Structure 1
């Protein structure tokens, strides 16, 4: 028998048999890992599948109309007759309009009043109802009710309370402190302030919940250290609570400002821009230009200007926030 044909020993058979087994096991491990990676990489579309219905609705009812409004803002829109290009004529017309300047001023006043008023009231409510007891949970839920109530219902409720006669609910309330009956939304001098109060009443509970979430993230040890150092409640709020809520204030400022700039339903249902245009805001003016006067091009130009102002405000706030945190 030749050397090549000599039979293998038991140990050599074990070695020769074991190496293929080890090699096949390693191949199995690598192939298993490859299948897992392939499975993970093949599921990237699953989250988008769940988001698809909402994204389609946003695309169809929000983003496409926004693009169409930008196109219409540089056209003379004539339904069923064809649109003609007018360039910046619509922007020139609406910017030179006294009604638009007055509506812009009213919008700014309304946005500032509702923003700072709702934030201040929401912060105060958050400090009062902070805690984990069952009673506080009920109070927080009750305070949050104005946010979930439809705006149309809120506007109708306050319209009834603002009844200008002495029998009106708000006139009875101010009568308790010796003030005479007021016209509220029926008088040019008090109509805008009355709408601001309505906006604060509805926006403050939302801000309260955001503040509560921010308060939960502040280290309790800071309060304990401040108490040991003899800090009063006011000092703890100024030096511990407010610095810990800087990010929350920045977020709420943007949200509340955008909410104020886009005020429409409460103004439309309470006063419709009256009396004598004292509560006319940009949103109601755009509505009247586009749907009542059939000047869709000019109305679209106003909508684009409002969007640009909101975008600039948001970007400026974010830039200031990044500078402070840097």
Structure 2
């Protein structure tokens, strides 16, 4: 009678193989959906950006002409300025307001948990619903809620969304209102890891509230702020739904951003090649900005 001895190395290989394959089994459905609905359309869009897309007539190769046309179009150039202004404003405003909300709502009390849940509702509400709600708030007559409040102060009704000078700023306010609670949650997670003894030591030394925020709180939550800044930079460049729902790019193109211009070019003028080229340019700029922000964030963390 003979006994079979299994080598320990073979057993470790089988166990390691199962541990290596099992995560990919769980990831496979998500990766398949991402491949079909994200990466394949992305590759198709890059491919179409080099063609004059003519349905039923056959696509015509034009090389970099679509990119040249997009980058020299004055409407796209104006949209770049609107995108940068709106993106910087909503990013900085969302971070500042989110940080203030995090400081106000930090704690373990049950009432604070209820308030935090209520404050977070704009994030989980559909952007189309939020846009329609703010359209009612900005109603240009005295019946609008905001103009009604201005009436109590003796100020006349203001056409926020119908005035080219105020439409972009009105859109920025709505965007900050939507993004600040999301930033608040990330910053709250960073505040939870701050050593409380540092606050006690600072209080015993008699430092002011501003000095405590500057020298204790901000350095401790730097990783959380880095994440918030990275996400804000990406959202700022790719802003679309807020503008499309609230103003549609008007009035007179005063709120037209890069994404709404690309949408108009592709789905209104049926210029699929030009819209694809605009989307590819935005993708490249977003990747470059993300890498740059992460680089400086890592340098700051290393210090």
TM-score where L is the length of structure 1: 0.88
Pick the structure with greater CA Rg.
1
Q: Distance in 1 between matches of 2:108 and 2:148?
A: 37
Match of 1:322 in 2: 298
Secondary structure at the counterpart of residue 78 of structure 1: coil
Match of 1:106 in 2: 82
Match of 1:59 in 2: 35
Query: Which digits, 9 at most, give the CA deviation of each residue in 1:106-128, with x for residues without a partner?
Result: 11111011100010000000000
Match of 2:250 in 1: 274
The more displaced of 76-85 and 287-296 is: 76-85
C-alpha displacement at 1:31, in angstroms?
Answer: 4.2
Q: Distance in 2 between matches of 1:174 and 1:283?
A: 33
Alignment of 1:1-326 (within 5 A): 31=7, 34-35=10-11, 37-326=13-302
Match of 1:16 in 2: none
Secondary structure at the counterpart of residue 161 of structure 2: helix
* Contact 2:94–2:176 (Cα < 8 Å) also in 1: yes
Q: Distance in 1 between matches of 2:229 and 2:297?
A: 11
C-alpha displacement at 1:176, in angstroms?
Answer: 3.4
C-alpha displacement at 1:79, in angstroms?
Answer: 1.8
Query: Which digits, 9 at most, give the CA deviation of each residue in 1:78-104, with x for residues without a partner?
Result: 122221211111111111111000111
C-alpha displacement at 1:315, in angstroms?
Answer: 0.9
Q: Distance in 2 between matches of 1:88 and 1:215?
A: 49
C-alpha displacement at 1:173, in angstroms?
Answer: 2.3
* Contact 2:223–2:301 (Cα < 8 Å) also in 1: no
C-alpha displacement at 1:34, in angstroms?
Answer: 4.2
C-alpha displacement at 1:179, in angstroms?
Answer: 2.9
CA RMSD of aligned residues (A): 1.6
Secondary structure at the counterpart of residue 186 of structure 1: coil
Q: Distance in 2 between matches of 1:237 and 1:179?
A: 37
Q: Distance in 2 between matches of 1:321 and 1:259?
A: 17
| Uncovered stretches (5+) of structure 1, i.e. residues with no partner | 1-23
Query: Which digits, 9 at most, give the CA deviation of each residue in 1:202-244, with x for residues without a partner?
Result: 0000000000000011111211111111112221111111111
Q: Distance in 1 between matches of 2:211 and 2:300?
A: 22
Query: Which digits, 9 at most, give the CA deviation of each residue in 1:138-166, with x for residues without a partner?
Result: 00000000000011110111111110001
Q: How many residues align?
A: 300
Q: Distance in 1 between matches of 2:9 and 2:281?
A: 54
Q: Distance in 2 between matches of 1:260 and 1:322?
A: 21
| Uncovered stretches (5+) of structure 2, i.e. residues with no partner | none
The more displaced of 100-109 and 74-83 is: 74-83
* Contact 2:222–2:301 (Cα < 8 Å) also in 1: no
Secondary structure at the counterpart of residue 253 of structure 2: coil
